[in-house]
Homo-oligomer: A and B are copies of this chain.
Amino acid sequence: MQPSMDFDFAGLDALFSPRSIAVVGATDSPQRIGGIPLDYLLRFGYAGRLHAVNPRADTVQGLSAHARLTDIPEPVDLAIVAVPQAHVTAVLEDAAAARVRSMVLFSSGFAETGAEGAEAQQALQERARAAGIRLIGPNCLGFMRPGHQTYATFSPAPNAGRVKPGRIGLVSQSGAFGAYAYSMARERGLGLSLWATTGNEADVQLADGLAWLARDPETDVIMAYMEGCRDGERLRAALALARERGKPVIMFKVGTSELGAAAAASHTASLAGNDAVYDAVFRQYGVLRAHTISDFFALAASASIAPIPRNRSLGLLTVSGGVGAMMADDASAAGLDVQPLSEAAQRQLLEWVPFAAPRNPVDITGQVTNDVTLLERSAELMMHDRNFASWLGFFAAGGLSDAFWAVLRCLVEKLRAAHPDTLLAICTLCSDARRAEMEALGCLVFSDPSAAIRCIGALASLADAPRAAPLPSACPAQPALQLPAGSLSEARSMELLAKAGMPVVPHQLVRTQQQAAQAVQALGGTIALKVASADIAHKSEVGGVALNLRTAMDAGAAFERILASARQARPEAQLDGALAARMVHGGVECIAGVHRDPVFGPVLMFGLGGIHVEILRDVSLRALPITRDDALAMVQELRTFPILAGARGKPPADLQALADALVALADFAQRCGDTLSSAEINPLIALPREQGGCVAVDALVIGADRCTVPAR
């Protein structure tokens, strides 16, 4: 892709901000698919010019009907198309002839039905592109823009009550989920700038919707529901754009990993299962991923109501010590920093309430019911003392009391005025009306303290999320390094990686017993011998490995033994001899790899070796390219990182050398372009910092099978 992806914003503007709309297949009945959008547009007051197209009617819902799009005597920005699948091609031709600029296509019967439908969709897509028509659908529920009375949908949801206009944009690949989310937004009182469903995504993808929202001046927060993605680069470009504009993206992605076909040949592919790659990409672009529908809406509502926290500090005020303790535990799990108040502030609090917990969480106890001024005094003292980026108060059922509510409201008004950039939140039972009142002051209201903390933790994570992850650079038609298809031998793999700057263990290919014997001295120490054959991926399974060979005699005997063993186990394999390598002692076994993800291209993986990677699945992932800081972060974010940092009195490993090695591996992958399927170094030994460095001991590079390389 190009560093700046061409989203054709002019075309998307014609789609989402049409000055004129034609409904094709318009009918009188406001219950039918062709009648619903026209009914909405008329009833809710669309301000642009509106046309009905129906060859079998003179008027539709009071509008005089045109027989065809080509009969409309003025330019049409958007055609809403509600005709059976069989008529779509003809309508598209008319649209092209009439220079219609964009189209919403409800019709089903395309790719979702199988191969034949997919072909029809492909033809549709090509025709629309050739005609310069931006197309959303087919098989979608269309879109709505509540602030512009633009209803290009046949969803019945608005009939049960309209969502109010607002500053949250929502794009969903699924119509069913989209309709559900519309109702959720309405019930929750959220205002939307755009509601869109992308259906089969013949042209406009989820990413296009996100990119358009990133630029939309009426949108502050972006919600996305995703089931899968065909074009990872497009998605990354859209996410980068949103990040650049400072708009939080709240992502709800369903469907877990389906392991790639390459899984069998390499660990990397199976460990980097699909969903984990999505997850890594989301983190690289500062996307907030929600894992439940509740959190999806809570995060979006919160991001649209309150300022994003400046950092992870959190002040907690509570009227229940137990709930305070629970909130502190939850906060620590969410990566928030519950800094204690200063000694002076704690003394002040204890003067006011002798049995208070004054540290943070501050528990002012039931005493507050006897002296409501305590609430304001304590909260202001906390904020004055530590200027928390986020402040959360737990007030049990206080929000149900008229008297207490008045005190709470007054407190929030003062805090908001004095600390405009602090995220303020309260947790209490109260009516929807009271919640709306508080939200209008820019204060979040939760009923469950754990949900509050989860939400604040997620928003605060944006404070140190990467500002703008690097985008993939243009993929050269002729990569610098062209790999052959299929597995390379260990020797060739090591050679290529060494050339790319990866430190590899001293090694040499030995073809005879004599060469094997000489290798002990040549490599300067104890050596290992491993059978060399591009046909044998798992050398120890065929008895093809001998370790700790100290003498020429040992090495010579081992050479004969492992070759014989391999020959017996795999008579058809082409044996090149054995790879002699110096034994590496000490250090920590790691694994590093890169594999080509079908959606996101090359993905880098790092983890600790052995059981840590196989049983605990503790690996870190990044879609390429990465910076050196990213590489270091990949090492440090492992759960098992303490082992590298020097746990149990062992020496700390050379982390800088690991980061350098990861950067070298990433560069290697970039230079191979589409010719790389995967490369894996297992083990990559991290040496102690004092000794310095790290060293690749075994490697397997696999070139992409040419027929599976996707066309670019």
Contacts and interface: CB of A to CB of B under 8 A. Distances in A.
A183 B397 contact: yes
A32 to B, nearest CB: 12
Contact of A254 (B292, B319, B322): B322
Nearest to A173: B322
B179 A396 contact: yes
A203 B177 CA distance: 54
A323 B648 contact: no
Nearest to A319: B176
Contacts of A174: 320-322
B355 A648 contact: no
A383 interface: no
Q: How many copies does the complex hold?
A: 2
A176, A183, A292, A616 interface centre (most CB from chain B within 10 Å): A176
Q: How large is the interface on A (under 10, 10 to 19, 20 to 34, 35 or more residues)?
A: 35 or more
A325 B643 contact: no
Contacts of A366: 175-176
A180 interface: yes
A254 B227 CA distance: 37
Nearest to A453: B292
B614 A183 contact: no
Interface in A171-221: 173-177, 179-180, 182-184, 187
A325 B611 contact: no
A400 B254 contact: no
Contact of A451 (B227, B292, B429): B292
A401 interface: yes
Interface in A143-176: 157, 160, 173-176
Contacts of A325: 227, 254-256
A116 interface: no
Interface in A637-675: 639-640, 642-643, 647-648
Given A320-B177, A647-B611, A292 B448 contact: yes
A195 to B, nearest CB: 13
A156 to B, nearest CB: 8
Given A322-B254, A450-B291, A615 B647 contact: yes
Contacts of A173: 322
Nearest to A366: B176
Nearest to A161: B400
A319 B292 CA distance: 17
Nearest to A427: B293
Nearest to A640: B615
A695 to B, nearest CB: 22
Interface string A320-335: 1111011001000000
A640 B615 CA distance: 7
Contacts of A691: none
A113 interface: yes
Given A173-B322, A174-B320, 19 more contacts: A175-B366, A176-B319, A176-B320, A176-B322, A176-B365, A177-B323, A183-B429, A184-B397, A254-B326, A255-B322, A293-B449, A293-B450, A294-B447, A294-B448, A611-B640, A611-B647, A611-B648, A615-B639, A615-B647
Interface of A: 112-113, 157, 160, 173-177, 179-180, 182-184, 187, 225, 227, 254-256, 291-294, 319-323, 325-326, 329, 355, 365-366, 396-397, 400-401, 429, 447-451, 610-611, 614-616, 639-640, 642-643, 647-648
